Amino acid sequence: MPVDGADPVDLLRSTRDAIAALTLPLELPDVPRTRAAASDAVAQLDDYIIPRFASLHAPLLAVVGGSTGAGKSTLVNAIAGHRVTRAGAIRPTTRQPILLHHPADEHWFTGQRVLGSLARVRGGQGDASGSLVLVGDPAIPAGVALLDAPDIDSISDENRRLAGQLLSAADLWLFVTTANRYADAVPWDLLLDAAGRDITVAVVLDRVPAGVEDEVAADLRRLLAAQGLGDSALFVVPETRLDEAAMLPAAVVAPIRRWLTEISHDARSRAAISRRTLNGAVRALAGRMDVLAEAQQEQRTAAARLAGDVRDAYARAADLAMDSTRDGSLLRGEVLARWQDFVGTGELFRSIETNLNRVRDRVGAFLRSEPAPVVQVENAIETGLHAVIVAQASRAAEAAFDSWRSDAAGRALAAEGDLSRLPAGFSDEVAAQIRQWQGDLLDLVREEGAGKRRKARALSWGINGAAVALMVVVFASTAGLTGLEVGIAGGSAVVGQKALETLFGQDAVLELTALARTNLQQRVAALFDRDARRFLDRLPADGAGDRPSPDTASPDTASPDTALPDDGGAGAAGAAGAPAGPSMAELAARLRRLADAA
């Protein structure tokens, strides 16, 4: 029956592909268990749910499972009426699952319809691990196959994994336990899972001492009823001496054989069992999908948190770098000395109106007399600005890396390599961006002086001189200076600003200053975005296939003209995969509708 207009098998295959594609790359506390659950879900879809939906009338697969030494293999041999599996004292006994089927049902099992991950081996044709031994036996009723599984509590990890895989592929369980172990925790964990999946379970209580059969059976029935398994068939096998061939007497397993035969002869009963188990498996799968959807959301939340830590660190650093260009601190030291030299030569005042004389006289006491070319001021500004940007970027990298190392989700990412140090080429990129910014200021001054009268004045002074004055005005706050420095830096800035106002007018100078600052802010943001990408590229892609954006620049300062070229790394485009399909939650809802419809 179609669900949401789709074929059920197509829906199940889409679900299988979605689970298989789930990676959960961030090492959150529950991730190992969730990955195992996802792997189990894929295996059950491959081994049982999809094959059963595709062939509802195939024989039922009854898996004989239980604890170590419960007597599973002995029981299977007794049901068959002759020895077909190995039973003994050495554990684990069952190293390969053995599937007994009626010869007429052979075609259902020789292909990869069920348990497709296991290679097929004919009985007596080898003992390859990871394979399923097929044994055709007329003693097994047609329509039902018996599968002797490894111990659920085997000392072998591989055997335990295989036992779980086989039990997940069962249409019904023939669960074997003993009189002294029926209350053990491991069997009950699986029985509770069976109750949750609504699977048909028959329990074989083996090796019950004489005289206590009714008492032990009653207690086990009480436990089964308390866990929602009160309708399960219960067979009691008394403690019995084996014959010379290590076989149980046929009489003690006759009720079990009769039960299996009745099921095999009743097509309606077989259909009811297969549908009940299948629907229970689909509902349980929907529940697993909810868990996977929650795990997926936890991954997104953790990735967003880690990305936010990086963005915050670099945003703070970008703000501090720009604060250094506003608080006057860049007019200290070498920059201030070179600016004084430049102003002191008189070059700045060549062709400037005489009303600047008083300003010049006011700061003249601070000016040096030896001449210095304008390029020395440019170089000093570049050096000072470069040091500020590199220092703040280094602090951002250290802060982001430390935050990742202190976060459970980020610790594994941090272990992939030290990101706290700036890459080798970062310093050169900063220098290049500063030079490009200075070049942009030259263009601004040149464009502003395009009028004939203004052009003559600007050219008589020099475009470079006007651009240097504009740089000083950009850095012209005295908030970070004290004492004598205030007078020096403030006075020097006034000289530059008055000179520019004489050339271009007060409004034009305000506009030029704003444009110059915005240009610098965009370049600083682009530099920091580029370095933040080193962190963000380690984060997993989200459901749309895009990695988080650095986003250290605010929307009103973002500009493609100042953005650095992409480095070709695994960014948004590199992380993009196939178009996203339905979410885990959507698939879970469809699976529930499928179970309801079926």
Tell me the pLDDT of the chain (598 aa) as tens digits.
Answer: 566 667 888 999 999 999 999 989 998 989 999 999 999 999 999 989 998 888 888 899 999 988 888 888 889 999 998 888 765 443 445 467 889 999 999 999 988 888 888 888 886 555 556 688 899 999 999 999 999 888 887 777 788 888 888 888 889 999 999 888 888 877 788 888 887 788 889 999 999 999 899 999 999 999 999 888 888 999 999 998 888 888 999 999 999 999 999 999 888 888 888 888 999 999 999 999 999 999 999 999 999 999 999 999 999 999 999 888 776 666 666 666 666 566 655 444 443 433 344 444 433 333 333 334 667 777 777 888 899 999 999 999 999 999 999 998 999 999 999 999 999 999 999 999 999 988 888 888 878 766 645 554 554 556 677 777 777 777 765 444 444 344 444 455 666 677 777 777 788 888 888 898 899 999 999 999 999 999 999 998 754 334 565 555 444 444 434 344 343 333 333 333 334 578 899 999 999 998 887 6
- Confidence at residue 235, expressed as pLDDT on a 0 to 100 scale: 95
Cα 570 from Cα 568, distance rounded (Å): 7
The DSSP secondary structure of 321-384, one letter per residue, reads HHHHTTSSGGGSHHHHHHHHHHHHTTGGGTT--GGGHHHHHHHHTT--SS---HHHHHHHHHHH
Tokens (6 digits) for 310 = 């990086």
- Confidence at residue 480, expressed as pLDDT on a 0 to 100 scale: 40
Residue 205 β-bridge partners: 177, 236
- Confidence at residue 128, expressed as pLDDT on a 0 to 100 scale: 55
- Confidence at residue 521, expressed as pLDDT on a 0 to 100 scale: 93
- Confidence at residue 184, expressed as pLDDT on a 0 to 100 scale: 82
- Confidence at residue 338, expressed as pLDDT on a 0 to 100 scale: 64
pTM for the whole structure: 0.70
**Sheet of 172-178, strands arranged across:** 119-122, 131-136, 98-101, 144-148, 60-66, 172-178, 200-208, 233-238
- Confidence at residue 452, expressed as pLDDT on a 0 to 100 scale: 45
All structural domains of the chain, each given as residue ranges with its CATH number in brackets, are 60-265 (3.40.50.300), 306-566 (no CATH)
Q: Are 47 and 114 in contact (CB under 8 A)?
A: yes
The DSSP secondary structure of 93-141, one letter per residue, reads ---S-EEEE-GGGTHHHHSSSSSTTSEEEETTS---TTEEEEEE-TTSP
- Confidence at residue 395, expressed as pLDDT on a 0 to 100 scale: 96
Q: Are 343 and 363 in contact (CB under 8 A)?
A: yes
Q: Which H or E run contains 233?
A: strand 233-238
For residue 379, report the phi and psi dihedrals to the nearest 5 degrees: -65, -40
